[in-house]
Amino acid sequence: MTIAEPVVSVQNLRKEFGKSCAVDDISFDIPRGQVLGLLGPNGAGKSTTIQILLGLIAPTSGKALLFGLDPWKDRVAVLQRANFSSAYVSLPHNLKVAENLEIFARLYGVKDRAQKIQSLLALFEIEHLAKKMTGGLSSGESTRVNLCKAMLNDPDLLLLDEPTASLDPDIADKVRNLLLTYQKERGVTIVYTSHNMKDVHELCERVIFLSEGKIIADGSPSVILDHFDEASLEEVFIAIARDKVKLRKEEGESTSDSAL
């Protein structure tokens, strides 16, 4: 039986900025349809890894492949099948919401653009914002517009950076459910970064914890909890952030599912 090529393959990836090492020799694969939580405290290397996957910066050494392609050298081909949303990235403020989405839809070569935009605005319950200036949106409204943008091209890979960070609990719950439904219906692969462990536990079947550019743990949430003997992912996160994690296995044993 032929094993399908992973959607994302990261091999001995390293990124240095001067004398500082942001990503330190990490490796992992993400198969099609998996929802992976990429977690860690501020400065752990999450954002740098995402920027490399998006082809925004080149690695110092090692490589990252999306759909078997180098996102730095084959960025257009990669971005035709991938998309990105962040609570911290704003769309042009001087355009209306519908105008912003129209421009991106054209860039992505979306067919039936008006219908696609309308359906996504309805999906996220923000049809009333279509004619509103993007610069006048609240942070929660802007987040949902960014999610609409990320789904315009029906991507095979979604990279989501804190997609519920600025949402109230009710809207955050709706967005989580929408993302789960979207993923199940399309089999889309998702890389999800968040400091909200409720999001991670509900959405992610696998998590990778980074600390100081290194992979500290890689496995399902239940395996991670068992390995670190903690009651919640939040407690694991806090322990890693405070540098109090003590690996409880024999020296040289991995914290991945395959080893546990």
In-domain check, residue 46 = yes
Count how many domains the chain has: 1
* Domain boundaries, position 72: 8-81+155-241
**Residue at 162 is within a domain:** yes
Whether pTM exceeds 0.75: yes
- At 250 the pLDDT is 39
For 13-67, write each residue's pLDDT tens digit: 999 999 999 999 999 999 999 999 999 988 899 999 999 999 999 999 999 999 9
Q: What does the mean pLDDT of the chain come to?
A: 89
Structure token pair of residue 248: 């409880």
In a domain, 206, yes or no: yes
Residue 10: in which H helix or E strand, if any?
A: strand 8-17
Instruction: Identify the pLDDT of residue 257.
Output: 52
> Interior CA angle at 116 toward 114 and 117, to 5°?
65
Is 127 among the domain residues? no
Q: Which residue has the tokens 């180098």?
A: 70
CATH number, domain containing residue 230: 3.40.50.300
- Please give the order of strands across the beta sheet that includes 214-219: 82-86, 157-161, 189-193, 35-39, 206-211, 214-219
Residue 122: inside a domain: no
- Give residue 1's pLDDT: 44
For the chain, how far is it from start to end, CA to CA, in angstroms? 25
Is 192 part of any domain? yes
Mean pLDDT is lowest, of 1-10, 15-24, 44-53, 194-203, for: 1-10
